[in-house]
Amino acid sequence: MAMKIRLARGGSKKRPFYRIVAADSRMPRDGRFIEKLGTYNPLLPKDSEERVKMDIEKIQAWLDKGAQPTDRVARMLEAAGVREKATRNNPNKGTPGKKAQERAEEKAAKAAEAAADAE
């Protein structure tokens, strides 16, 4: 049985509230879970202590049993100091889009023409 530590959404429309749960990976996102491990309220300010509440001992026990945290939960655990920080690399994220690259090429071409005319 593949276990995941993940977020289960609660709350009403436009007012999200999440439970951090240990669940079988085959179960639906908001469906059956085995144990509630904490809560996450994204509407609270980032520096609030109430934003993320986790039972670290229970989470560590599930990690020792082989449960895999999702990306978002892994980041929360890194912030809490439970897991070591994973290296992330997305070299394409910082590159400009096609239109921006075309504009930059046109601007460089005009600058080269102006420099050639000035000489």
Q: What CATH number is given to the structural domain containing 28?
A: 3.30.1320.10
Closest CA to 82 of 42, 118, 38: 38
* 106 falls within a domain: no
* 63 falls within a domain: yes
* pTM, full prediction: 0.71
* 16 falls within a domain: yes
Per-residue pLDDT tens digits for 17-47: 999 999 998 988 888 899 999 999 999 998 8
pLDDT for 5 beyond 90: yes
* 98 falls within a domain: no
* 118 falls within a domain: no
Tell me the residue range of the domain where 24 lies. Answer: 3-80
Q: How confident is the model at residue 1 (pLDDT cuts 50, 70, 90)?
A: low
Closest CA to 109 of 96, 101, 95, 119: 101
* 99 falls within a domain: no
- In the chain, how many domains are there? 1
3-state SS, 15-27, equals CCEEEEEEEECCC
The C-alpha torsion from 23 through 27 and 30 to 32, rounded to 10°, is -60
* 27 falls within a domain: yes
Per-residue pLDDT tens digits for 50-101: 999 999 999 999 999 999 999 999 999 998 888 888 777 777 777 888 899 9
* 87 falls within a domain: no
